[in-house]
Amino acid sequence: MDPYKYRPSSAFNSPYFTANSGAPVFNNNNSLTVGSRGPILLEDYHLIEKLAQFDRERIPERVVHARGASAKGFFEVTHDISHLTCADFLRAPGVQTPVIVRFSTVIHERGSPETLRDPRGFAVKFYTREGNFDLVGNNFPVFFIRDGIKFPDMVHALKPNPKSHIQENWRIVDFFSHHPESLHMFTFLFDDVGVPLDYRHMDGSGVNTYTLINKAGKAHYVKFHWRPTCGVKCLLEDEAVNVGGNNHSHATKDLYDSIAAGSYPEWKLFIQTIDPDHEDKFDFDPLDVTKTWPEDILPLQPVGRLVLNKNVDNFFAENEQLAFCPAIIVPGIYYSDDKLLQTRVFSYADTQRHRLGPNYLMLPANAPKCAHHNNHHDGFMNFMHRDEEVNYFPSRYDPVRHAEKYPIPPVVLTGRREKVCIPKENNFKQPGERYRSFDPDRQERFIRRWVDALSDPRVTHEIRSIWISYWSQADKSLGQKLAMRLNVKPNM
């Protein structure tokens, strides 16, 4: 028998109950006792195993993105971008790659309602012939902060109060009052799109700036964008209360039911690119995740389509154990100096090693579907069957060799070691432009949400004044309307 071939799988279920060891269990209803009433004997191994397994069947939930739902499908290239990248899965129109996608809310717990105002995660794992590519993103194209060193503090501020375990606006507006770079993100979060109708009716974005590299070694900065073919739809406050009151898992159910009914969710993938030689031509830093790239200057280029046509077989195995990391890339795609991306490259893999163990990439949902070879050995929950004698490199007894060299960005790095903010902050221009793009009713809803947030009794006059000043710098009329309703004079 080849142990590697016969991995544990419910497809090979025994017709009778067994212990984990495979031993038959002749009575799964009654504990082993002294007499008919007890006491229970410790030697009832099946009882002990059953209880111990049950006690451990929950793993730590994600700190962020705990509440999520997954589905499987394929990505198909529809437009040739081989002049921009040598990535194999993007090599030509018609090429299809299997994928698994996880949607999520960000801040709230695993059992929280899916109707809460919160960013949504939109993470895609491509199982390519050259290994996996994890495109980890959100439904908004920007983020609250531009430097990952602030991420733990940001999450703490957005999470419930550690004393009361209640999410409170005063903590949120206090923290972000120190970070005006967050204004652009709030024009999305406090906009109607802050509560999507469901996962099928929302945009997706890679958020971070990556680098595409072609065979000749030419690099371009790139941003990835998903657009749903069924359009973007949202829930307003009263609708969210009604939907969430009827079913706190409405988005998970909608995704599952739609696929089961053959109404497959689909998104178009677009990219924007910038030649790194031209990055200084803008009044913002293109690697700043609090900024969007203007589509009138840098138009969306179509690449392909994503179709989800299969529900997961097991929610735990393919949603809770599904793990993403922006560091997982393929030849032809590389990182950029985007400060947030640089920290995520470390942090995502680190959190999965904590949550799932050092061998989390062996789990079927996370493992590559192509052949792979390395000398990473042992550790908790290592279930790879290995019979080779050589577990070091190089060796004259093992023919394994280096892969063929592929291009990575050739830029020469220079600069002083320093902890500083980027030179081009420009925190107010894009938030103002986005607010002015709203129709009057949408502007009114946005204002009302901010008035509600800043009316928290624990929000001080100083913090209200700071926010009104920020929004006044983004749009003078917006600042005036907030000041009037909150009875606060703008402090420009």
Active site residues: 65, 138
* 4 is an annotated ligand-binding site residue: no
Amino acid identity of residue 299, one-letter, is: P
Q: What is the largest CA-CA distance in the chain?
A: 85
Structure-block tokens of residue 198:
């469901």
* Beta-strand runs (E) in 63-169: 68-77, 96-105, 120-128, 131-138
Token couple for 169: 């606006």
Q: Report residue 360 as tokens.
A: 């989390």
CA 397 to chain centre: 42
Residue 53 identity (one-letter amino acid): Q
What gap in Å lies between CA 155 and CA 150, rounded to an integer? 9
Q: Give the containing element (helix H, strand E) for 228.
A: strand 219-228
d(CA 297, CA 285): 15
Distant-in-sequence, close-in-space partners of 298: CB < 8 Å, separation ≥ 6? 272, 273, 274
Which residue carries 């790194």 as its tokens? Answer: 276
What phi and psi values does residue 98 have, to the nearest 5 degrees? Answer: -65, 145
Residue numbers in the known binding site for heme are 348
